[in-house]
Structure 1
Amino acid sequence: MTKPPSKTPMAGGFLLALSLIVGVFAGIARGEASFGFLIGLGVGIALLILVWLADRMRTGR
């Protein structure tokens, strides 16, 4: 028998948190912590959307 796909959703919160932290530290290194935060936020949201889309395609919804 084939194993049914997992109903457990994938989580992307770690990617958002990591991108925010990396963005802030990169911004601090360049003297623009707020700008780094915003760039990290944008990258994190883009990664969250990719994870969400991958999860939807994986579960067939």
Structure 2
Amino acid sequence: MASNSKAPLAGGFLLCLCLLAGALAGVFLGQPSIGFLAGAGVGLVILILLWLWDRRRT
């Protein structure tokens, strides 16, 4: 029973990591809210790129 379908990749961890890194960097710069939003933006871009790459892979 060989299956050619591959499990989809999950990017939630990368999004969470970017959110935390952005908020932590923002704390050191004195603007945690802006850091959180920047981390969300970067994380979403990575998430979309991962989704597109995974769609092409299957």
Say yes or no: does 1:42 pair with 2:44: no
Note the residue ranges of structure 1 that are not aligned, 5 or more in a row. Answer: none
Q: TM-score, normalised by structure 1?
A: 0.86
Distance 1:40 1:28 in 2: 12
Large movers: runs of 4+ above 2 Å: none
What percent of counterpart residues are identical? Answer: 54
Alignment coverage as a number of residue pairs: 56
Instruction: Spell out the pairing of 1:1-61 with structure 2 (5 A cutoff).
Output: 4-6=4-6, 8-59=7-58
Runs of 5+ consecutive residues of structure 2 not aligned to the other structure: none
What SS does the aligned partner of 1:28 have? helix
Q: CA RMSD in A?
A: 1.1
TM-score in terms of structure 2 length: 0.91
